[in-house]
């Protein structure tokens, strides 16, 4: 499609304009803003950046985010893969039920994160029966770590299921049936036959879950109460810094988050390419 | 080990745990919001919803989401076309960059827009001299919405463009059809389902967006306060019932869109 000699003049013109416009959109909407986070964090030099990240509240927030990412990713992976297996392979539930469950998997995509957080406060908040019961036995859910994990689990729920289900549907059951016929038990079949087939789907699901739980803001903000050094995560700290007109500090923390997101994106691209090769 | 795991009780236990997790995590909270908003009866619900500020925030959200979606349809279709049909320097790089708004925390996205367009940036200064107000006004909200929903339309159209049979296009050219005619009659109909489902996903995401918008909107009640920020405010001021009432309006709308997207995709698969 390159514009060689003798090629259609008009088509070449259109092509040039469209490519230029595409570059313009990317540069204005994505590249310059990303750059700005970098330069913004350096506004007060390296010392300013180091201070922004090593403030006690920033360290606490980053550790909090790391814990949420770890717990949510582990739980979401286990339950997501199992649910995907049941929804594709489970013969024990009727097709009607399967269809119904399948259609509600996506619901968290349609729910605003703020509403996701509100739901958890409404059901498990201190003024509800369940919340009061747990509080009386000394287990705080809302405005504490468990609630934040629940909120993040809610928003990340569809990611793993939706990555693994199409892969399972595509590979079919032949190989697994062959393994069972040859006498392999449930677990062995899973690890030796199913796992290698769905591996890349699970990896994508994990990357998406990490990215989403790292960046979750609305749901966590509502559930956590955003108490500094207690229930503050990296994203809610960025929000608070901006509200307090402390933009340089906000940039420092945002830069850490942005670097992680870009790394995840690169890893995803690498995994996709590897899958293409094999 | 295998002997134990093969036991019927184990698989029954696994099934129930996964199903219970699913229902408690997803279904229960949604039922909870609907019941809570009606917990004080119909009139309380009507009062919360007919609060002028609540109404204005919902209408504003709808209006701005529509604008953002329209912008995304235009630039998304163009970018998908350019990335799939033309070979040029940096194509692969741009193609990977499309997903950036999904990977980036929305609060970081909001901060980026604030830095780019804010009062102390050169774009903000130029705009201020021209008498345009961007940040803390409607344009910034639209930009934030376009930013977070950027990948949807592109990623929905790309596979369709790849599938599209080139011979149909060529046949049309050979028969003397003009470029514009080919685009309208051959290309557009085949990518339309992608444009539609991408646009609806972008629209429902824009309706729900909170993180990116809350930082750039200024959140002035009745002016730049969108629905999700309104809900957040109601939660903060300890009015969960009012928050739930506005939530279910927004939720019902999003569920309708999700159902429509599924319906469009089902019809496509049926073909």
Chain mean position to CA A194: 24
Point out the residue among B102, B111, B247 whose CB comes nearest to the CB of A115: B247
Domain residue ranges in chain A: 1-41, 46-277
Q: How far apart are CA B160 and CA B183, in angstroms?
A: 14
| 3 state DSSP class of B192 | helix
Answer yes or no: do A22 and B82 touch at CB < 8 A. Answer: yes
**Per-residue pLDDT, B1:** 42
Look at residue B56 and give its three-state secondary structure: helix
Yes or no, beta carbons of A110 and B113 under 8 Å apart? no
pLDDT above 70 for A38: yes
Range of weakest confidence among A79-88, A214-223, A251-260, B124-133? B124-133
Residues in chain B, overall count? 271
- Between A250 and A91, name the one with better pLDDT: A250
Nearest to A29 by CA among B138, B212, B33: B212
Classify B119 as helix, strand or coil: coil
Contact yes or no for A239 and B107 at CB 8 A: yes
Residue B241 has pLDDT above 70, yes or no: yes
Does residue A98 register a pLDDT over 90?
A: no
- Rounded to whole angstroms, the Cα distance separating B48 from B239 reads 10
Q: Which pLDDT value is given to residue A6?
A: 54
A130 to A139, A141, B235: CA distances (angstroms) = 11, 10, 19
Which residues in chain B have Cβ-Cβ distances shorter than 8 Å to A187?
1-2, 5
Q: Do A29 and B88 touch (CB under 8 A)?
A: no
Terminal CA-CA length for chain A: 29
> What are the chain A neighbours of B104 within 8 Å (beta carbons)?
215, 257-258, 261
B230 in reach of chain A (CB within 8 A): no
> Is A46-277 in CATH node 1.10.3720.10?
yes
What value does the mean pLDDT take over residues B84-90? 89
Tell whether A158 is within 8 A of chain B (Cβ).
no
- Domain B45-270 in CATH 1.10.3720.10? The answer is yes
Contacts of B101 (CB under 8 A, 6+ apart): A30, B109, B147, B148, B149, B150, B151
Burial class (CB in 10 A: 0-12, 13-18, 19+), B174: exposed
Can you tell me the mean pLDDT for A188-214? Answer: 89
Tokens of B244: 């739930």
Q: Which of B28, B96, B115 sits opposite A40 (nearest CB)?
A: B115
**Per-residue pLDDT reduced to its tens digit, A50-76:** 888 889 999 999 999 999 999 999 999
Query: In chain B, which residues have their Cβ closer than 8 Å to the Cβ of A30?
Result: 97, 100-101, 150
Q: Exposed e or buried b for every residue in A41-75, given b needs 16+ CB within 10 A?
A: beebeeebbeebbebebbebbbebbeebbebbbeb
- For chain A, the average pLDDT equals 87
Interface test with B, best of A17, A34, A39, A111 (most B CBs within 10 A): A111
- Which of residues 66 through 95 in chain A touch B, CB cutoff 8 A? 79, 82-83, 86, 90, 92
Span A114-143, average pLDDT: 86
C-alpha A50, offset from chain centre = 27
Whether pLDDT at A22 is above 50: yes
Q: Which residues of A touch B264 (CB under 8 A)?
A: none
Would you call A14 helix, strand, or coil by DSSP? Answer: helix
Q: A255 — phi, psi (to 5°)?
A: -65, -45
């Amino acid at each position: 499609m390159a514009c060689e000699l003798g090629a259609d003049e008009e088509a070449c013109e259109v092509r040039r304009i469209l490519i230029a416009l595409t570059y313009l959109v990317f540069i204005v909407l994505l590249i310059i803003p990303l750059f700005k986070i970098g330069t913004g964090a350096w506004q007060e030099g390296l010392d300013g950046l180091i201070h922004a990240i090593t403030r006690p509240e920033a360290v606490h927030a980053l550790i909090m985010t790391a814990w949420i990412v770890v717990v949510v990713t582990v739980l979401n992976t286990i339950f997501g893969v199992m649910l995907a297996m049941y929804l594709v392979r489970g013969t024990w539930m009727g097709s009607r039920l399967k269809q119904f469950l399948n259609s509600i998997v996506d619901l968290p995509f349609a729910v605003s994160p703020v509403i996701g957080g509100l739901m958890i406060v409404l059901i498990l908040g201190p003024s509800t029966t369940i919340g009061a019961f747990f509080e009386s036995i000394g287990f705080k859910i809302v405005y504490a770590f468990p609630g934040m994990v629940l909120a993040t689990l809610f928003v990340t729920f569809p990611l793993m299921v939706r990555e693994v289900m199409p892969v399972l549907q595509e590979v079919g059951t032949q190989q697994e049936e062959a393994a069972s016929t040859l006498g392999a038990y449930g677990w062995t079949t899973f690890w030796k036959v199913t796992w290698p087939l769905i591996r890349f789907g699970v990896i994508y699901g994990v990357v998406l879950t990490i990215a989403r739980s790292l960046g979750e803001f609305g749901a966590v903000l509502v559930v956590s109460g955003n108490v500094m050094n207690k229930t503050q995560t990296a994203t809610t700290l960025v929000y608070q810094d901006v509200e307090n007109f402390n933009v340089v500090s906000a940039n420092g923390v945002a830069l850490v988050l942005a670097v992680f997101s870009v790394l995840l994106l690169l890893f995803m691209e690498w995994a996709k390419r590897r899958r293409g090769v094999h | 080990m295998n002997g134990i795991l093969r036991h019927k009780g184990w698989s029954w236990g696994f099934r129930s745990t996964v199903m219970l997790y699913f229902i408690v995590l997803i279904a229960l909270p949604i039922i909870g919001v609907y019941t809570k908003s009606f917990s004080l009866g119909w009139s309380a619900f009507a009062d919360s919803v007919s609060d002028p500020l609540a109404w204005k925030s919902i209408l504003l959200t709808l209006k701005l989401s529509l604008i953002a979606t329209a912008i995304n349809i235009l630039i998304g279709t163009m970018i998908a076309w350019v990335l799939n049909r033309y070979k040029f320097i940096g194509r692969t790089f741009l193609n990977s960059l499309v997903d950036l708004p999904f990977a980036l925390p929305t609060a970081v996205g909001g901060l980026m827009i604030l830095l780019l367009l804010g009062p102390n940036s050169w774009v903000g200064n130029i705009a201020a001299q021209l008498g345009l107000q961007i940040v803390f006004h409607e344009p910034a909200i639209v930009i934030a919405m376009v930013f977070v929903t950027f990948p949807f339309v592109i990623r929905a159209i790309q596979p369709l463009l790849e599938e599209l049979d080139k011979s149909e296009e060529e046949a049309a050219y050979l028969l003397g059809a003009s470029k514009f005619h080919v685009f309208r009659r051959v290309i557009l109909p085949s990518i339309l389902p992608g444009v539609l489902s991408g646009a609806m996903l972008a629209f429902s995401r824009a309706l729900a967006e909170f993180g990116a918008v809350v930082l750039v909107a200024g959140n002035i009640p009745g002016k730049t306060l969108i629905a999700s920020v309104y809900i957040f405010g109601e939660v903060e001021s300890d009015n969960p019932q009012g928050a739930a009432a506005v939530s279910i309006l927004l939720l019902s709308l999003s569920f309708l869109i999700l159902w429509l997207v599924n319906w469009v995709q089902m019809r496509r698969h049926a073909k």
